[in-house]
Amino acid sequence: MITYSKWLVKNGYQSTAKDLVWPVIQNDLAYTAQYWNQTGFDLWEEVNGSSFFTIAASHRALVEGSNLAKTLGTSCSSCDAIAPQVLCFQQRFWNSQYAVANINVNNGRSGKDTNVFISTNEGFDPSLGCDATTFQPCSDRALSNHKVVVDSFRSIYGINSGIGKGQGVAVGRYSEDTYYNGNPWYLHTLAAAEQLYNALYVWKSQGSIVVTSTSLPFFQDLSSSVSTGTYSSDTQTYKTLYDATFAYADSFVNNVAKYVGANGALSEQYDRNNGSPLSARDLTWSYAAVLSAAARRAGVVPLGWADSNSAATLVPGNCYATSVVGAYTAAPTGSFPANQTPGNGSPVPTTTPTSAATTPAPTTTGCAPATSVAVAFSERKVTSFGQTVKITGNNPAIGNWDTSKAVALSASQYTSSNPVWSVSITFAAGLDLQYKYIVVNTDGSVVWEANPNHAYTVPKGCSTQTTKNDTWQ
């Protein structure tokens, strides 16, 4: 409904969006802000607990809902208050190798589940680059998860026998699945491909591939000699990894093509031992998965949802299981315009195409200039338990020098040998920044860095993501 509202606004129907659609969306957002922290059933309607998919979807809805409210000249205060806490809770699903699909449960499963692929694809926003907090497709966490989950299916399906690492295989929901004897699904195998096509799009846009210790096992399946580092598009390592990932993504699609039903029919599942179609026939989701994977391969990506909202990637220094009691209203009874046509009289695509409509050749470099850039700040600072490192400066996104509005960095990768605090914040391309880091003690007192201020100009160009490494001064 938010996507529909954006279309209405873009095509001259803002009053319809505000008066008829927004009140319904507002009820949904209020419900999410009130009940997000209660357990419920997962995407497969099987597990009652805390679901990665549900939490990620809730976070996106609150951020995008807040953005829509501003567009319509109103606000969603509960969205703004709760979205950072939802994202904070989402980090708890990560176990250093993969995202555990369901927590706060005791069902005997490993938690390796392809609903995380679907969540990653549904939460894809090209402007966020390879942000790990939101599990963007090219983030080191999402790539590590991809490897771990795909590998969990390699040995359990007969039709995967003899297929080596770095080659696509048939993928199901989760390895412990017993529904219809637990088979691969067309839509999940295609989701594995789609995540990689999404990653390729961002790498091409930003002109580099970053290999971290977290994502290294994924990349080593594609090139055994690769090591951690940042590889720009003019290097041979970039070309090798890009082309290998492209081929890897295609191999998942080829797996589906190999076991498709008669006349191209796609059921829900295909037999784990002989590949014959099984379960629900002509499953709509299977066909939709083909279309979305094909679109991503062609460089057609979804419209973003984060915009310049810092809550999209902001992880608070402290997480709280808080909520906002919602106020609910009856849906309006007005009439929609009889004929809703695009403002230019032609169909409006729901996705943003690249400059060329044809399938992109691997290692091509054309791109559109980025209007906003996600800056990944990294600050080396030894701290004590209970202390929090924050950043503030001459821009509203980092608090306008107000320490009470400073943005907290995450210590998720902090170690005694590498005391790094980090956060990703989105700014307009070309923006001149002045900033400093502060340490907030447990009693609320603040310690500032020494002078001078850090000075940084957000780069202009094709990349939607960059890194700024600092050390406490």
DSSP, res 99: B
- Give Cα separations from 441 to 168, 242, 408, 410, 438 (angstroms): 49, 44, 12, 15, 10
Query: Has 45 been annotated as catalytic?
Result: yes
The whole-angstrom separation of Cα 74 and Cα 420 is 38
Query: Has 42 been annotated as catalytic?
Result: yes
Tokens 């998942």 -> residue: 252
- Give Cα separations from 152 to 188, 244, 276 (angstroms): 13, 21, 21
**Residue of 170, 120, 160 lying closest to 144 (CA atoms):** 120
Residue of 42, 64, 131, 177 marked catalytic: 42
What's at 55, amino acid-wise?
I
Tokens 């969205």 -> residue: 79
The whole-angstrom separation of Cα 238 and Cα 121 is 23
Whether residue 313 contacts residue 306, with contact meaning beta carbons closer than 8 Å, is answered with yes
Complete DSSP assignment for 68-98 = HHHHTT---HHHHHHHHHHHHHHGGGB-SSS
DSSP, res 207: T
The whole-angstrom separation of Cα 2 and Cα 123 is 14
CB-based contacts of 361, cutoff 8 Å, min separation 6: none
- What pairs with residue 425 in β-bridges? 375
Residue of 19, 28, 45, 151 marked catalytic: 45
- Which SS3 state, helix, strand or coil, does residue 341 take? coil
Q: Which residues of 458-473 are buried (b: 16+ CB within 10 A; e: fewer)?
A: beeebbbbbeeebebe
The whole-angstrom separation of Cα 64 and Cα 201 is 22
Token pair listed for 133: 């907090």
Helix boundaries (H) for 374-414: none
Catalytic positions: 42, 45
